[in-house]
Structure 1
Amino acid sequence: MAPTAGGDAIPNQISSRRLRLAGPRGIRGIVANSQIFAIAVFASLGGLVYGYNQGMFGQILNMSSFAKTVHPESISNPTARGLLTAILELGAWVGAMANGYIADKLGRKLCVDVAVFVFVIGVIVQACAKAPSYILGGRFITGLGVGSLSMIVPLYNAELAPAEIRGALVALQQLSITAGIMIAYWIGYGTNFIGGTGDGQSNAAWLVPICIQIAPALILGVGMNFMPQSPRWLMSVGREEECLQTVAHIRRADAETELVVLEFLEIKAQRVFDTETSQRLFPQYQDHSFKSDFMLGFHAYARLLTSPTLLKRTLVAVLIMLFQQWTGINAVLYYAPFIFQDLGLTGNSVSLLASGVVGVVMFLATIPAVIYIDNLGRKPVLVCGAIGMAICHFVIAGISASFDGVWDQHKAAGWVAVVFVWLFVVHFGYSWGPAAWIVVAEVFPLGVRAKGISIGASSNWLNNFAVAMATSDMLATMKYGTYIFFGLFCVSGATYVYFIVPETKGRTLEEMDEVFHDDSGEGRKDLERMDKIWHDLGMFNEVLPSARDVIGSNYEKGSIAHTEV
């Protein structure tokens, strides 16, 4: 069967073959791919580090010993408190943006080691805090590491995973984040009693939660050296034999089985396409010097905004993260003790205890996403979660408007509002928490995937920074209007996903070109070029060629030259 103009027949034939070879989804898929699942669980320690940091700081902000050590005014003033909280997100934004280039240059594994090293330095600076400047500087440095990890973990897991369980493996990132938040809340609740909860509280109350996070970070940094390298990164740097062997190893199959060969050829085809595109657009940067590599990286970022087909994907990644953050989730995570006090819970211990329940329900709510999101799809989960969160926000706003200032006379109303905060966290936990990261990790082609995900992650952190900065003042001035504001964003997010975002369930990373194709001249020509590459590699032959017959293929004047297949 010959390739057809516009790429209609071959993608369907390749997709059909892939579907025939694909394994089960859900629990059965995880069991069938237990080795990959175990690798992804370990890599997701990066999410645990990130989540722990989120949950931990909201707890220690409410501790009297921390306020005395740093400066009481920095905690009591809403704007200063917002800056102490949000500075980490600013550092994470920088880390996520820079990591797109670093991840391609150093590889996914070494990139994790660099991020862990930077993270640990930031934690040490915070542990030595004598003034607000220590916390600001330490949290910014920590943020650089956290931002890098938030981008590299879903990238690594997505590039290792088979299509049928990729959503589950990327969702592990969010499950680990929620586990970190849960652990941080309960550690903070426990250490809050060291030396008492009043003026005599020991500095260990906040130093222990800060220092504990070094342990999982170091385990991740050391352990990643024993994990397999991303096969897609190996292909991108020309290590094709290692790519083939890695695919065979993580699929637990022989290198010449049909499933392994098809996945290898899909990765190879995407690499050929990206190389041809680079040669066609930037022939002046093909000498592999440092300057040329840097300029190619720069232009790869630029193409995410100037290429119509890539711009579609970039906008999806940027906007999905914008809506994720403006659901108000991090307003709850960072300021939960203060929110619960505003809703009528009195005493630091009670509000910290209520915050601990936030961590538990969010962790439990994320588990179904890992199991079922590859069956349900991304769009239904995102839309349902956004509507659920919006309802919770509007109910909390209504209760707050009715009873603000007289909570002591209406204890039951305060607890109803707290329950709806918990329900809001549940809706986020199974939907926008994991699904937003899954979509961002899926939509970009190999040549710009690391850079595209870094832009998506940077959107997450930049909006996270804005939410963290704004929430403290919003709660002080807008009061119940804060919940209406976030609720309207949830409604907007549901509308955007329903009408604009394509469904990516069950597609291989290489098949995303089919999902995002358009009828413009550039999109059509790209699909026709990809058709030719598929044809040259023998991907629509009744019997696939041997993988080793195409290893070492080179590129001549933008075309692939390889042994006869």
Structure 2
Amino acid sequence: MEGGVHPLPDTSAFRDCFALTWKNPYVLRLAFSAGIGGLLFGYDTGVISGALLYIRDDFKAVDRHTVLQESIVSMAVAGAIIGAAVGGWANDRHGRRSALLAADFLFFIGAVIMAASPGPATLIVGRVFVGLGVGMASMTSPLYISEASPAKIRGALVSTNNFLITFGQFLSYLINLAFTKVPGTWRWMLGVAGLPALLQFSLMIFLPESPRWLFRKGREEEAKAILRKIYPAEDVETEIQDLKDSIDKEIREEGTSEKINFRKLWQTKTVRRGLIAGVGLQVFQQFVGINTVMYYSPTIVQLAGFASNQTALLLSLVTAGLNAFGSILSIYFIDRTGRKKLLLISLFGVAVSLGLLAGIFHREWYTRGCPSKFGWLALIGLGLYIISFSPGMGTAPWIVNSEIYPLRFRGVCGGIAATANWISNLIVAQTFLSLTEAIGTDMTFLLFGIVSVVGFFFVIVFVPETKGLPIEEVEKMLELRPLQYKFWEKKKRPEGTMEEEEKLDKKNQGV
């Protein structure tokens, strides 16, 4: 890409990622153990959509007041805002592994409180605890995976975290269906989340800290031992030297995120450019309306004319399955197509499907639970939306944010971006039902569609391509280019690049 070191087109990353199963299972173990945080993230954000149907049945006040419904859903998001903000500090001060262990503890406590809730108020308290865990895990899991992955397959491995998020949402719908006839319905749905939290806590106790965090803290020998397990023998010394050079540069600049000066952070060119791209992506991810679908998909299905709770849950399971399938597509394409192109393709599809949904809901056929022969059109629109969103906007913002910041600021900047994501999430979750009542479902979807068009142009201008770049080289790329719209052009690599890449550069000079 213009303005920085660019990788060759790589079609083998997907194959190499799965070859780790027998070549280097250690890397895969790190990725999937940390990725359970994504599973919990997905489960706890998805399970409420089905549980809410039964909570309304048990607590009539919740059924009567839309604000209570929105609060039960969105208080987890409010907790996630705090969790993401605290998580950024905790990641830099105490390490990625410690932050994940703290998140597991919060997940478990929240699950127990929710399962035992005697009323809406206690339920909301439990949702806040779960939200704290979600916020910490949402930024820590991809960061840990990113820092413990070889550059060539980093995108695919971080995408496994996003697959586990979507699988967690799919699993939550399966659990919802499994407990529809069981006494206590929603209590079981919400309480089951404590089990994967215990599993991850048990696994992470025996796993190492991020090697890059250890290097930053002066624990070089520990870091080198882990890097030697992650990288092939012929690559590991180069990786160690690149990391050492990066740390030496940071020390010379006296940069640290433990005693962070936010004014100085913003004045640092590479950090500012990274934050504009990273925070912008996280905000657009939410304001194109994804979590209205994930939190309220059964309610949307009922708006489309399917009255039964069980039918609504079953149809919503299809959207969750499409979301998980889209994450698998991301694992295949993210290191092949690149982050930026995948984002643009995704946003184009999202804009088209939201326009379709706005047109479908424009008619007066849709009132909650009223049968309609046109309801299937709304389901097609939802399906198109999910399959467009999931491979690009669903995964790439988290991947870019795990790659784009200098090491000394990676925790705090990741926390800022994740906090922006959850604040945007809260705004959307807290206003969706009220918006549909105030301006109609059709105009609400149209509003999200307009935002997705704006997001499309934002990606063209401000988001760099980080595919295949060693994390230490991303900073060099940001130093050279403030705007990223000519991302299809390529320049020469510095001295020391492989001969075949130099030949490709010479060929592209005339483009």
Provide TM-score, normalisation by structure 2: 0.89
One of 188, 191, 216 as aligned partner of 1:211? 191
- Equivalent position of 2:96 in the other structure: 108
1:165 aligns with 2:157: no
Residues 403 and 413 in structure 1, CA contact (< 8 A), matched pair in contact too:
no
Q: Counterpart amino acid of 2:231?
A: R
1:364 aligns with 2:325: yes
Q: What SS is found at the alignment partner of 1:114? A: helix
Q: What SS is found at the alignment partner of 2:398? A: helix
One of 28, 36, 42 as aligned partner of 1:51? 42
Q: What SS is found at the alignment partner of 2:53? A: coil
From the superposition, tell whether residues 147 and 247 of structure 1 become closer, same or farther in structure 2 (CA, over 3 Å).
same
Q: What is the CA–CA distance in structure 2 between the aligned matches of 1:501 and 1:410, rounded to whole Å?
A: 45
Q: What SS is found at the alignment partner of 1:61? A: helix
1:28 Cα deviation (Å)? 2.8
Residues 326 and 387 in structure 2, CA contact (< 8 A), matched pair in contact too:
yes
Residues 142 and 398 in structure 2, CA contact (< 8 A), matched pair in contact too:
yes
1:36 Cα deviation (Å)? 1.4
Q: Counterpart amino acid of 2:431?
A: A
One of 259, 262, 267 as aligned partner of 2:238? 262
Q: Counterpart amino acid of 2:393?
A: W
One of 179, 188, 211 as aligned partner of 1:191? 179
Residues 301 and 452 in structure 1, CA contact (< 8 A), matched pair in contact too:
no
Q: What is the CA–CA distance in structure 2 between the aligned matches of 1:451 and 1:135, rounded to whole Å?
A: 31
Residues 386 and 493 in structure 1, CA contact (< 8 A), matched pair in contact too:
yes
One of 130, 137, 141 as aligned partner of 2:125? 137
Q: What is the CA–CA distance in structure 2 between the aligned matches of 1:272 and 1:43, rounded to whole Å?
A: 29
Q: What SS is found at the alignment partner of 1:207? A: helix
Q: What is the CA–CA distance in structure 2 between the aligned matches of 1:174 and 1:377, rounded to whole Å?
A: 16
Q: What SS is found at the alignment partner of 1:432? A: coil
Indicate the RMSD between aligned Cα atoms, in angstroms. 2.5
1:274 aligns with 2:250: yes
Larger Rg: 1
Residues 407 and 414 in structure 1, CA contact (< 8 A), matched pair in contact too:
no
Q: What SS is found at the alignment partner of 2:405? A: coil
1:403 Cα deviation (Å)? 4.1
1:61 aligns with 2:52: yes
One of 423, 428, 433 as aligned partner of 1:462? 423
Q: Counterpart amino acid of 1:486?
A: F
Q: In the TM superposition, what are the counterparts of 1:350-389 in structure 2 within 5 Å?
A: 350-389=311-350
| Residues 75-84 or 137-146, more deviating | 75-84
Q: Counterpart amino acid of 2:53?
A: N
Q: What is the CA–CA distance in structure 1 between the aligned matches of 2:199 and 2:271, rounded to whole Å?
A: 36
Identical residues among aligned pairs (%): 30
Q: What SS is found at the alignment partner of 1:366? A: helix
Q: What is the CA–CA distance in structure 1 between the aligned matches of 2:200 and 2:457, rounded to whole Å?
A: 38
Q: Counterpart amino acid of 2:206?
A: F
- Which ranges in structure 1 are unaligned for 5 or more consecutive residues? 1-7, 195-201, 280-292, 521-538, 543-565
1:399 aligns with 2:390: no
Q: Counterpart amino acid of 2:337?
A: L
Residues 301 and 451 in structure 1, CA contact (< 8 A), matched pair in contact too:
no
Residues 23 and 164 in structure 1, CA contact (< 8 A), matched pair in contact too:
no
Q: What is the CA–CA distance in structure 2 between the aligned matches of 1:504 and 1:216, rounded to whole Å?
A: 32
| Deviations, residues 362-419 of structure 1 (Å, cap 9, x unaligned) | 1112101112210100111111111111111111111111243589998442101111
One of 133, 147, 151 as aligned partner of 2:139? 151
1:518 Cα deviation (Å)? 4.2
- Equivalent position of 1:485 in the other structure: 447
- Which ranges in structure 2 are unaligned for 5 or more consecutive residues? 483-494, 499-511
1:352 Cα deviation (Å)? 1.2
Q: In the TM superposition, what are the counterparts of 1:246-395 in structure 2 within 5 Å?
A: 246-253=226-233, 257=234, 259-278=235-254, 297-395=258-356
| Residues 462-471 or 398-407, more deviating | 398-407
| Deviations, residues 85-142 of structure 1 (Å, cap 9, x unaligned) | 1111111111111111211222111221111112211222212211221112111111
- Equivalent position of 1:562 in the other structure: none
Q: What is the CA–CA distance in structure 2 between the aligned matches of 1:458 and 1:347, rounded to whole Å?
A: 36
Residues 400 and 466 in structure 2, CA contact (< 8 A), matched pair in contact too:
yes
Q: What is the CA–CA distance in structure 1 between the aligned matches of 2:282 and 2:108, rounded to whole Å?
A: 26
Residues 17 and 156 in structure 2, CA contact (< 8 A), matched pair in contact too:
no
Residues 81 and 472 in structure 1, CA contact (< 8 A), matched pair in contact too:
no
Q: What is the CA–CA distance in structure 1 between the aligned matches of 2:41 and 2:345, rounded to whole Å?
A: 26
Q: In the TM superposition, what are the counterparts of 1:398-547 in structure 2 within 5 Å?
A: 398-405=359-366, 411-479=372-440, 480-518=442-480
Q: What is the CA–CA distance in structure 2 between the aligned matches of 1:330 and 1:383, rounded to whole Å?
A: 20
Q: What SS is found at the alignment partner of 1:375? A: coil
1:24 Cα deviation (Å)? 4.2
Residues 269 and 479 in structure 2, CA contact (< 8 A), matched pair in contact too:
no
Q: What is the CA–CA distance in structure 2 between the aligned matches of 1:336 and 1:453, rounded to whole Å?
A: 29
1:297 Cα deviation (Å)? 2.4
Q: What SS is found at the alignment partner of 2:205? A: helix
Residues 164 and 374 in structure 1, CA contact (< 8 A), matched pair in contact too:
yes
Q: Counterpart amino acid of 2:204?
A: M
Q: What is the CA–CA distance in structure 2 between the aligned matches of 1:476 and 1:261, rounded to whole Å?
A: 60
Q: What is the CA–CA distance in structure 1 between the aligned matches of 2:247 and 2:359, rounded to whole Å?
A: 54
From the superposition, tell whether residues 541 and 381 of structure 1 become closer, same or farther in structure 2 (CA, over 3 Å).
closer
1:231 aligns with 2:231: no
Q: What is the CA–CA distance in structure 1 between the aligned matches of 2:25 and 2:480, rounded to whole Å?
A: 37
Q: What is the CA–CA distance in structure 2 between the aligned matches of 1:59 and 1:206, rounded to whole Å?
A: 8
